[in-house]
Amino acid sequence: MENLKNKDLLEGFIDTHIHTSPDIKPRILNDVEAANDAKQEKMKSIIIKSHVESTAGRAKVAELVSGFKVIGGICLNSSAGGLNPDSVKVTAELGGKIVWFPTISAPDISINYENIESILNIITEKELVLATGHLKPDDIFLLFDCAKSLKIKKIIVNHPLTGVVGASIDEQKEMSRYAYLEHCFVACMEKHDNLDPKIIADAITEIGPEKCIMATDFGQAHNPVPTIGMKMFINSMIECGIKEKNINKMCAHNPSKLFLD
């Protein structure tokens, strides 16, 4: 793990999935601290996420204070009004760039064309990134069908290998025709899914790094800070045979196309 000490290991990289405080759960860093830590590591940007509120305004403040690119968005859980077009519109007006479909509220919210059409229209109009949250594969494919009709191009399937999503390799292959698959290292942590990193590496090899993203989903008080988590992820993928050029593609090139191009 010698590369964990390399200050340039994360240069130009983007972590598309970080949880920060303030939050209702303990977080290891607040918005500004996470931005400053990523800036010190010469990263390009971070995306901060909350399950319970929009992070669009928080991201603007963190970026102003840190002088580092911070991106926010909204997760369409019950505390944010659920499948609420108004919350999506306001998030976009505040500079948010991503809309996560329900996560912690996913079991309680029904997805159908009628209740997501207005949201998808806003995503199209504002050129936002659509993320699938904790939806199960059947709902993800329904979402894709609706998004295709509106020509939404920027789509992320969040942590497809985790228990909350549970997408098979065949399903991931089909998903990759329309979206990037975001693999998060938190799934490999003992207090989470305790997933063998080789399973992620095998999925990346099977799907192809050109349609995958590596992120941490870190920020929990019981895990390392996200920059350390990203270094752990990179080193574990290298140990599993993933080439460094492909890691660069998944950590820099692909997220840049979604959020910065």
- Mean pLDDT over residues 108-114, rounded? 93
pLDDT above 90 covers a percentage of the chain that reads: 97
Give the pLDDT band (50/70/90) at residue 261: confident
- Give the DSSP letter string of 164-233: TT---HHHHHHHTTTSEEEEEGGGGSTTTT---HHHHHHHHHHH-GGGEEEE--B-BTTS--HHHHHHHH
Instruction: Give the tens place of pLDDT for each residue, 38-79.
Output: 999 999 999 999 999 999 999 999 999 999 999 999 999 999
Instruction: Give the tens place of pLDDT for each residue, 194-223.
Output: 999 999 999 999 999 999 999 999 999 999
Helix axes 56-66, 31-40, angle to 10 degrees: 50
CATH class of the domain at 2-259: alpha beta
Q: What is the pLDDT of residue 4?
A: 45
Asked if 77 contacts 102 with a C-beta cutoff of 8 angstroms, the reply is: yes
pTM beyond 0.75, yes or no? yes
Q: What is the pLDDT of residue 137?
A: 98
Q: Where are the domains of the chain?
A: 2-259
Asked if the model's pLDDT at residue 80 lies above 60, the reply is yes
Residues 6+ apart with CB under 8 A from 154: 127, 128, 129, 130, 258
- C-alpha 2/C-alpha 204 separation (Å) is 24
